[in-house]
Structure 1
Amino acid sequence: MNKNDASGPSSVGAKPRIVDIALQAGVSTATVDRVLNGRPGVKGKTVSKVRDAAEWLAKSGGRPTVVASSLKALTIDILLAGGPGFANEILMREFHRASRLAGVKLNARFAPRANVAALKEALEECAARRSDGVIVQPIEHRLIRDAVLDIVSRGVPVVCALTTLPGVDSLAYCGLDNRAAGRAGALLLGHLCARRGKVAVFMSDMLYRSHEERESGARSVLRTDFPQIEVLPSINTRDNPDTCYLETHELLKRHPDLAGMINLGGGNRGIEKALLEAGKGGDVAYVAFNLTPLTRKALLDGTIDAVVHQDMGRLSRRAVDAIVGHHAGQPPESGYIPAEIIMRENIRDTDRGE
């Protein structure tokens, strides 16, 4: 039997596994990794706990001494960006469902969109009371990165949802491969436009790495695979339907020959309204992200041609299970949430966002 097999006993003098050290020390595997590799950001007391645990396991050859805890006593904090909206409401509902299935409590809230100070304050509050676990949609900013690093150093497991936060050893990331998703959406758009014409790219906010990755992926495919397509400057909408409406209205006035568009974020109902008012509904190739009741209706009406979607239920269950599994000494599930391509002919009855 392989000495690293999770089911096999440790031998005296063998190098202990990171997961065993984490269990013995009562910290996250990310914290153990930081200590063993001499990276900063871990308090001295925690460093000592990790080293003592590693030494004991190596000398004794024993398994971690874990005091069983009631998972029902766990409370998971969830911090999502922005206020209520169709996509956020669907995701938050799925998180509540996932927490009920796992038998844990949920402390869920929305931090104002792209508001670094508000998210930092919420993260610091979670750290101060030693949350059992934090699931966060992080803003890519040095203050948010520092706040998350502080939580991780305290042994609190952190899961990044929807968008990654580079430079942070979080427990897991639950979401799309956003660059690949952007490329997939742009590939569809290029073919829908018959490889020619002008296309517009709508995005939410560069503070969220997910949208930056989607944009770079989309532009990469349009540039390399569809050289006859002219890609117009990106339009930043902050997921606001009113902004989407005004920007689309002006876009159609400037470019009446617009062939297509891709919206990498939210606010689709504003774009749809402007297209319909201009008599362009169904004439302009339109690819959107995330299936909601509104985008579902627009697919069936023919205003939207395709939606790049991620299963919010699957994302939520994986994120909650990662926190619960951490407390049970189990590693999180790896891999991205698959990107689904949904068109009007393959919408299932269950794809109602309800």
Structure 2
Amino acid sequence: MANNGKKRMTLNQLAKELQVSRTTLYNIMHEKGAYSEETKKRVYKALEIYNFRMNNHARNLAMNQEYKIAFVGFYSTRFGYFFDEIQAGIERAVEAYEDDGLHIITRYSDREDPGQQVQDLVELEEKGIENYIIFCYHYESVSPQIEHLINTGKNVILFSRRIPGLHPFCSVGCNDYLSGKLMMELLEKFARSGDRVQLLISEHNHRDKLVVGERLKGFYDALKNSRKNFELLEPAWTSPVPEVEKNEIRNVLEERKPDVILDFVCNLQEAAECVKENGKGDTVLLGYDIYPEVVPYIKDSTIDAVIYQDLPSQSFKAVELMFEYICYRKKAGEEDYYLPLNVVFATNCEYFENL
């Protein structure tokens, strides 16, 4: 029977509409417990009118189930947008699954203090937490504790960084090796054969083998098969101190005057400002990630393109996978979930800046 144009309702909404408890509604739908015949008729009529379908969502509400997931990560004041985007995805997941009983416990520590991250994991385990989404930078220091959690039967998803030697429930992120190859494709698209190419890489990420290292490996592997010949200048490993780095970027670009600038996690905003001040001309500027400070430079084509990995969708996916497993026992279909990479230009920037 049609639902007469009425919207489908949640269990909570239906119980409120009928002025009965959620438990009574649940019992009638499953023919359990005690209730009057008159109440049963009212409920069945409402179920037909609103085309209500019983599902796991209704089950969780009726049983007052709570599913706790710990999201344990790190922060860096240098790249605040990165962690804001991760948090946005977590909040989106909470909004989607909170009524099903999802409860997220977040713990963030300084990127350069892996000992605190280990302590966070120890304390959460002592509190009885069974489910973890873990995002770490100095993985060598944190790996033993993560391995302990896995070996003692805890559910672990690795976020953003797949740690060598560990076998968690699954990992969620982007394929950094392919993102490096994609950078090479963009270089071929925008640059001319013979162009002088400058790589900018922050010393802040010099030891990052899991992301920057993979990006560079993908880039150099793809370069071997390039249809064009480029002159690669010596990579500029700039200071981790922001103010010092700004000067170093400017000095490198003004002294070397490259035809192409590839920002592999450095300071794309500063590079764009320098290019714009000196006159864009034919200079090509490519980088990673989209955040408020660089949007104007993408829109006016000072930055020709950026590779964007959609962090909110990644963190949402990690929570979704963990929740569906602990709530519905839906196993991950893949060992590594790589979400799509996007390329942002002036023509499509407006869409991505509002995600």
Aligned-partner Cα distance in 2 for 1:213–1:220: 10
The residue that corresponds to 1:74 in the other structure is 68
1:316 Cα deviation (Å)? 1.7
Aligned-partner Cα distance in 2 for 1:239–1:134: 30
The residue that corresponds to 1:303 in the other structure is 302
Aligned-partner Cα distance in 2 for 1:73–1:175: 23
Aligned-partner Cα distance in 1 for 2:266–2:81: 9
The residue that corresponds to 1:255 in the other structure is 256
Contact 1:174–1:315 under 8 Å retained in 2:
yes
Cα 1:195/1:120, change in 2 over 3 Å: farther
The residue that corresponds to 2:189 in the other structure is 191
Larger radius of gyration between Structure 1 and Structure 2: 2
The residue that corresponds to 1:273 in the other structure is 273
Secondary structure of the residue that 2:294 maps to in structure 1? helix
Contact 1:241–1:268 under 8 Å retained in 2:
no
The residue that corresponds to 1:180 in the other structure is 178
Secondary structure of the residue that 1:292 maps to in structure 2? coil
2:347 matches 1:332: no
Q: TM-score of the superposition, structure 1-length normalised?
A: 0.72
The residue that corresponds to 1:288 in the other structure is 287
Aligned-partner Cα distance in 1 for 2:156–2:263: 29
Aligned-CA RMSD value: 2.6
| Residue-pair matches, total | 284
Q: How does 1:106-255 map to 2 (within 5 A)?
A: 106-139=104-137, 141-203=139-201, 204-225=205-226, 228-237=229-238, 241-255=242-256
Q: How does 1:318-329 map to 2 (within 5 A)?
A: 318-328=317-327, 329=329
Cα 1:254/1:333, change in 2 over 3 Å: farther
1:251 Cα deviation (Å)? 1.0
Cα 1:162/1:239, change in 2 over 3 Å: farther
**Paired amino acid for 1:260:** V
**Percent of paired sites with the same residue:** 16
Q: TM-score of the superposition, structure 2-length normalised?
A: 0.71
The residue that corresponds to 2:91 in the other structure is 96
Contact 1:171–1:322 under 8 Å retained in 2:
no
1:178 Cα deviation (Å)? 0.6
Cα 1:221/1:238, change in 2 over 3 Å: farther
Contact 1:189–1:286 under 8 Å retained in 2:
no
Q: After superposition, what is the alpha-carbon deviation per residue over 1:47-66, rounded to whole angstroms, capped at 9, x for unaligned?
A: xxxxxxxxxxxxxxxxxxxx
**Paired amino acid for 2:92:** R
Structure 2: unaligned runs, 5 residues or longer: 1-59
Q: After superposition, what is the alpha-carbon deviation per residue over 1:191-238, rounded to whole angstroms, capped at 9, x for unaligned?
A: 312132221223334235011100111122234316621223333458
Secondary structure of the residue that 2:321 maps to in structure 1? helix
Aligned-partner Cα distance in 2 for 1:284–1:326: 49
